[in-house]
Amino acid sequence: MPKPIILFLCTGNSARSQMAEYLLRGATDAFEVHSAGTDPKGVNPLTVQVMSELGVDMSKARSKHLSEFRDQPVSVLITVCAEADKSCPAGALPQVKHRLMWKFDDPGAAQGTEEEKLAVFRRIREQIGQRIEEWLRDARPNN
Protein backbone atom coordinates (compact mmCIF):
# COMPACT_ATOMS: atom_id res chain seq x y z
CA MET A 1 0.00 0.00 0.00
CA PRO A 2 1.49 3.37 -0.97
CA LYS A 3 2.28 5.88 1.74
CA PRO A 4 0.09 9.00 1.99
CA ILE A 5 1.68 11.99 0.23
CA ILE A 6 2.30 15.13 2.28
CA LEU A 7 3.17 18.26 0.30
CA PHE A 8 4.51 21.41 1.94
CA LEU A 9 3.91 24.53 -0.15
CA CYS A 10 5.48 27.96 0.04
CA THR A 11 6.08 30.69 -2.48
CA GLY A 12 9.77 30.20 -3.32
CA ASN A 13 10.32 26.65 -2.00
CA SER A 14 13.63 27.95 -0.73
CA ALA A 15 13.41 27.78 3.07
CA ARG A 16 10.22 27.04 5.08
CA SER A 17 8.74 24.33 2.88
CA GLN A 18 12.17 22.75 2.38
CA MET A 19 12.78 22.67 6.14
CA ALA A 20 9.35 21.18 6.73
CA GLU A 21 9.89 18.50 4.09
CA TYR A 22 13.19 17.36 5.56
CA LEU A 23 12.06 17.65 9.19
CA LEU A 24 8.96 15.51 8.58
CA ARG A 25 11.02 12.95 6.65
CA GLY A 26 13.37 12.73 9.62
CA ALA A 27 10.53 12.40 12.13
CA THR A 28 8.65 9.51 10.51
CA ASP A 29 8.69 7.21 7.52
CA ALA A 30 4.90 6.94 7.50
CA PHE A 31 4.54 9.43 4.63
CA GLU A 32 5.95 10.26 1.24
CA VAL A 33 7.01 13.86 1.85
CA HIS A 34 7.65 16.61 -0.71
CA SER A 35 7.78 20.38 -0.93
CA ALA A 36 7.07 22.82 -3.72
CA GLY A 37 6.59 26.50 -4.46
CA THR A 38 4.17 28.65 -6.39
CA ASP A 39 7.22 30.55 -7.74
CA PRO A 40 10.36 28.46 -7.00
CA LYS A 41 13.53 30.46 -6.35
CA GLY A 42 16.16 27.82 -5.54
CA VAL A 43 17.13 26.45 -2.14
CA ASN A 44 18.54 29.15 0.14
CA PRO A 45 22.10 28.25 1.26
CA LEU A 46 21.22 29.28 4.83
CA THR A 47 18.45 26.67 4.80
CA VAL A 48 21.00 24.01 3.92
CA GLN A 49 23.36 25.32 6.61
CA VAL A 50 20.86 25.33 9.50
CA MET A 51 19.53 21.91 8.53
CA SER A 52 23.07 20.52 8.39
CA GLU A 53 23.41 21.59 12.03
CA LEU A 54 20.85 18.87 12.76
CA GLY A 55 22.73 16.34 10.64
CA VAL A 56 20.30 16.70 7.73
CA ASP A 57 21.88 16.40 4.29
CA MET A 58 20.11 18.64 1.80
CA SER A 59 22.76 18.40 -0.92
CA LYS A 60 20.21 16.95 -3.35
CA ALA A 61 17.41 19.39 -2.48
CA ARG A 62 15.95 21.44 -5.30
CA SER A 63 13.12 23.92 -5.61
CA LYS A 64 10.11 22.42 -7.34
CA HIS A 65 7.01 24.03 -8.82
CA LEU A 66 3.66 22.87 -7.47
CA SER A 67 2.68 21.80 -10.99
CA GLU A 68 5.03 18.80 -10.58
CA PHE A 69 2.45 17.43 -8.14
CA ARG A 70 -0.71 18.22 -10.12
CA ASP A 71 -1.45 14.58 -10.88
CA GLN A 72 -0.27 13.18 -7.53
CA PRO A 73 -2.82 11.92 -4.98
CA VAL A 74 -1.75 14.40 -2.28
CA SER A 75 -3.29 13.39 1.05
CA VAL A 76 -2.39 16.60 2.88
CA LEU A 77 -1.29 19.94 1.44
CA ILE A 78 0.28 22.15 4.10
CA THR A 79 0.95 25.74 3.11
CA VAL A 80 3.61 27.38 5.26
CA CYS A 81 3.12 30.98 4.18
CA ALA A 82 0.06 33.15 3.65
CA GLU A 83 1.06 34.13 0.11
CA ALA A 84 1.22 30.52 -1.09
CA ASP A 85 -2.09 29.82 0.64
CA LYS A 86 -3.68 32.68 -1.31
CA SER A 87 -2.01 31.93 -4.64
CA CYS A 88 -2.77 28.20 -4.73
CA PRO A 89 -6.40 27.75 -5.71
CA ALA A 90 -8.06 24.41 -5.07
CA GLY A 91 -7.95 23.60 -8.79
CA ALA A 92 -4.15 23.86 -8.92
CA LEU A 93 -3.87 20.50 -7.16
CA PRO A 94 -7.22 18.80 -7.80
CA GLN A 95 -6.42 15.55 -5.99
CA VAL A 96 -5.66 17.11 -2.57
CA LYS A 97 -7.74 15.46 0.16
CA HIS A 98 -6.94 17.81 3.08
CA ARG A 99 -5.48 21.30 3.21
CA LEU A 100 -3.83 22.95 6.23
CA MET A 101 -2.25 26.38 6.74
CA TRP A 102 0.76 26.76 9.04
CA LYS A 103 2.04 30.33 8.82
CA PHE A 104 5.71 31.01 9.57
CA ASP A 105 7.77 34.16 9.09
CA ASP A 106 9.95 34.21 5.98
CA PRO A 107 13.56 33.64 7.07
CA GLY A 108 14.73 34.68 3.61
CA ALA A 109 13.57 38.21 4.41
CA ALA A 110 15.88 38.42 7.45
CA GLN A 111 18.16 41.45 7.58
CA GLY A 112 21.49 41.97 9.29
CA THR A 113 24.74 40.12 9.57
CA GLU A 114 25.15 36.52 8.50
CA GLU A 115 24.89 35.45 12.16
CA GLU A 116 21.68 37.47 12.64
CA LYS A 117 20.17 35.89 9.52
CA LEU A 118 21.21 32.43 10.71
CA ALA A 119 19.48 33.11 14.04
CA VAL A 120 16.22 33.78 12.16
CA PHE A 121 16.61 30.63 10.06
CA ARG A 122 17.24 28.61 13.23
CA ARG A 123 14.18 30.10 14.96
CA ILE A 124 11.93 29.25 12.00
CA ARG A 125 13.47 25.75 11.77
CA GLU A 126 12.64 25.17 15.45
CA GLN A 127 9.09 26.51 15.06
CA ILE A 128 8.47 24.23 12.08
CA GLY A 129 9.90 21.25 13.95
CA GLN A 130 7.65 21.93 16.94
CA ARG A 131 4.58 22.27 14.70
CA ILE A 132 5.39 18.97 12.98
CA GLU A 133 5.76 17.23 16.36
CA GLU A 134 2.37 18.60 17.46
CA TRP A 135 0.73 17.55 14.21
CA LEU A 136 2.16 14.03 14.41
CA ARG A 137 1.08 13.70 18.05
CA ASP A 138 -2.45 14.91 17.23
CA ALA A 139 -2.66 12.66 14.17
CA ARG A 140 -1.82 9.49 16.09
CA PRO A 141 -4.85 7.64 17.46
CA ASN A 142 -4.97 6.58 21.10
CA ASN A 143 -2.66 9.31 22.38
Please tell me the predicted confidence (pLDDT) of residue 96.
84
- pLDDT-above-90 percentage for the chain: 80
Domain map of the chain by residue range? 5-139
Q: Catalytic site residues?
A: 10, 81, 88
Q: Does the pLDDT of residue 86 top 80, yes or no?
A: no
Under 8 Å between Cβ of 18 and 43: yes
Q: Please, which residues bridge with residue 74 across strands?
A: 5
Q: At what angle do helices 45-52 and 114-139 cross, to 10 degrees?
A: 60
Distance between CA atoms of residues 19 and 57, nearest Å: 11
pLDDT digits (tens, 9 = 90+) for 123-136: 999 999 999 999 99
Using CB atoms within 10 Å of the CB of residue 49, give its burial: 0 to 12 exposed, 13 to 18 middle, 19+ buried. middle
Fold annotation for 5-139: Rossmann fold (3.40.50)
- Per-residue pLDDT tens over the stretch 53-62: 999 999 999 9
pLDDT at 142 over 50: no
- Condensed to tens digits (0 to 9), the pLDDT of residues 26-47 reads 999 999 999 999 999 999 999 9
Q: Count CB atoms within 10 A of the CB of residue 68.
A: 12
